[in-house]
Chains A and B, each alone.
Chain A
Amino acid sequence: MNNAKMWLVVKPTVGIPLFLGAVAVGSFAVHVAVLSNTSWVADFLSGQELGSGDTAARAQEQTILPASADAADLPMYLEADAAGAESMRVILPDGRTATLVVDDLTSAALIE
Chain B
Amino acid sequence: MDIHFNHGDVTPEERQAVDCILGEPESGWRGGPRNADRDGHAALGEGGAGARRHLLLPVLHAVQARMGWITPSALNYACQRLGLPPAEAYGVASFYGLFSVSPRPLRVLHICDDIACLTQGAEELCARVEQALGPPGSATVDGQATWYRSACLGMCERAPAALLSVSGERPYEKVLAPASAAMVSKALAADAIDAAGEPPDHFDAAVSVPQTSLPAASNLMLLRRMGSADAESIDDYRAQGGYEALRRALLLGRGWVTQEVAAARLVGRGGAAFPSAKKWDPANQPHYLVCNADESEPGTFKDRVVMEGDPFSVVEAMTIAGYTTGCEKGYLYLRGEYPLAGERLAHAISAARARGFLGDNVMGRGARFDIEIRRGAGAYICGEETALFNSIEGFRGEPRNKPPFPTQVGLFGKPTVVNNIETLINVLLIVREGGERYASIGTHGSAGPKLFCLSGHVARPGVYEVPFGATVRDLIELAGGVAGTGRLQAVLLGGAAGAFVSPAQLDTPVTFEGTRSIGASVGSAVVMLFDDSVDLRKIILRIAAFFRDESCGQCVPCRVGTVRQEELLQRLARGRPLGSVETELGMLKEIGQAMRDASICGLGQTASSAVESALRRWPLFESPASGDQKGARDE
Please say whether chains A and B are actual partners in one complex. Answer: no
